[in-house]
Structure 1
Amino acid sequence: MRRFLIIAGLSLAALFGLAAPSFATVSEPDDDPLIDPAPCVNAATDGDADNVIAVCTPLIDQEKTGKPERVKALLARAAAFDRKQQFDRALGDYDTALMLDATKPDGFNARGELRRRQGNRPGALADFAAAVKRDPQHQAARANYKSLALELERLGAQLAVKNKPSFDCKQAKRPVQKAICADPELADLDREIDAAHQAKLRHAAAGTVSRRALLRAQDAYLAERNAAFGRSTDELRAAMKARLRQLRGGKAD
């Protein structure tokens, strides 16, 4: 009897189990599906800045996008922002891309070119150096580094003599020399006059009539400047600017 009840109970359990409604597992749609990177790549190739931004932004914002694809999309969008003169956004994308992958010489070179245009020469030089370090044969980065290094060298040399005349102010005795030393604009004019005069002398053959004429003209200018100088510096400034224009072939300052 007991055996019969157990069997009956099992049969009922099985019956109810079969009778109970079955619910199939249904997979919910992915709210954040992968985005095909091909349209972003193609847009970057076409060079349409607005289209690049439109199709690359979803790829950048998508959480499932792989790092290589995200970096490429960021660099493409940065270049597009640069072309649209949205420089802060461009720098932001370059910064993010290079933070994710610091092996991209093209990215460093592009950011360096943008920094240079914005006047950030030290930052640009560092970017060009980073690009060359990662790819010693990167021709654009090598050329950019060389030209910017020369530019910084020239700027350094100019700063070293800024507001200084062609002569030593400590040895100045003439009133006109003291006036030039006391006025930064006059000091720069004096130095520029001397530089232009020396440049003409270098191009003239030694001992020729041309060289002797250049020397006589400069001596005459200095003598007239020293003799005519009075209390006002306005006439002196005008005379110096006239001499500089003469040395430069009549070109304006």
Structure 2
Amino acid sequence: MMDSVPRKQGDPTATSMRFQNLIRLSAALMLSALWSGLARGATGGEPAAVVQVDVAACLAAAAADDMDKAGPACAAVIDNEKTAKPDLVKALVARGALLARHDQIDRAIADDSRALQLDPTLADVFNARGELWLKKGDKPKAVQDFGAALKIDPNHEKAKANHRAMARELERIGAQMAVAGKPSFNCAGARRPVEKAICANHELADLDREVYAANARVIREARDADEARKLQHEQDDFIVRRNAGFGRPGYDMKKAMQERLQRLNGADGY
């Protein structure tokens, strides 16, 4: 049996073995780098962990009306880019409702609007945002949202009631605008100085029309004919006093008409 002979530096067999060892080492290093890269986050160097977005904490805090807990809990969900769309919508709606209960109207509208951008099929959220627009005094936007809710769900009871009420309100406003600045009588036939003064002043004209309408209502609601005649007699006396007092020093016709209207409407304004 032959003794092993040390291979010379230039031996092709030794070179081949060293090359194979280098290949194995390089492959091992590449695998190591690959696994390391998969385990690191996009920020570089930080281990990537699977982010668990806890929407339950947000929903629970909002349901409990706990602003202190809901604020950070919901923000953690809403501001996280990894939050799934359904959870994001839930968090926005929950926080929006909470903000609305605490009269943070603009922030609540912003959350509801973002939720509706993500999911425009939420009838409840359209109705809720409509009620918020109403609180801000934006009746056209409120009606639009109530209508949108009804398109999604024609049987949505709250949206139906809100839309019906707003339709009546807009109708009333339209009727008021149509007669704004017009008294109860035709100014074209005005002959008395007091009547001409009322026609020339929109505020006095509105008061005259309101007094006339209020008087007609109380007479219509009178218990019997005798009471109705008595009420009309009181109105006729007021007109006589108004006409006689107009133009005299110290007579305030606007104040007199306001007092008459208050008397007709009663202490509760009706």
TM-score category, normalised to shorter length: 0.7 to 0.9
Cα displacement (A) at 1:146: 1.1
Stretch of structure 1 that moved more, 153-162 or 29-38: 29-38
RMSD over aligned CA atoms reads 2.6
Displacement after TM superposition at 1:232 (Å): 6.0
Residues 121-166 of structure 1: CA distance to partner in whole angstroms, max 9, x if unpaired?
0001101111111111211111111111111111211222222211
Structure 2, unaligned stretches of length 5 or more? 1-10, 41-46
Query: TM-score when scaled to structure 2?
Result: 0.81
Who is 1:132 aligned against? 150
Residue in 2 aligned with 1:69? Answer: 87
Alignment pair present for 1:166 and 2:188: no
Structure 1 unaligned regions, length at least 5: none
3-state SS of 1:47 partner: coil
Equivalent position of 2:227 in the other structure: 210
Per the alignment, residue 178 of structure 1 pairs with 196
Residue 16 (structure 2) pairs with residue 10 (structure 1): yes
Q: Is the 8 A contact 1:50 1:80 kept in 2?
A: no
Distance 1:117 1:184 in 2: 29
Aligned residues: 248
Displacement of 1:180: 0.9
Higher mean C-alpha displacement, 194-203 vs 90-99: 90-99
Out of 117, 134, 153, the residue aligned to residue 116 of structure 1 is: 134
Residues of 2 paired with 1:31 and 1:154: CA distance?
60
Larger Rg: 2
- Alignment partners' CA distance in 2, 1:250 and 1:83: 32
What TM-score, normalized by structure 1, do the two folds share?
0.86
User: 1:225 aligns to what?
Assistant: 242
Cα–Cα, structure 1 residues 76 and 176, in superposed 2: closer, same or farther, change >3 Å? Answer: same
Identity of aligned residues (%): 44
- The one-letter code sitting in structure 2 at the alignment partner of 1:103 is T
The higher relative CO (CA closer than 8 Å, separation ≥ 6) is in: 1
Q: 1:232 to 1:148 in 2, by over 3 A?
A: farther
Task: Please say if 1:200 is aligned against 2:218.
Answer: yes
2:234 is matched by which residue type in structure 1? A
SS at match of 1:10: helix
Contact 2:245–2:251 (CA<8 Å) still a contact in 1?
A: no
Deviations 1:92-138 (A, max 9, x none): 21221111111111111111111100001000110111111111121
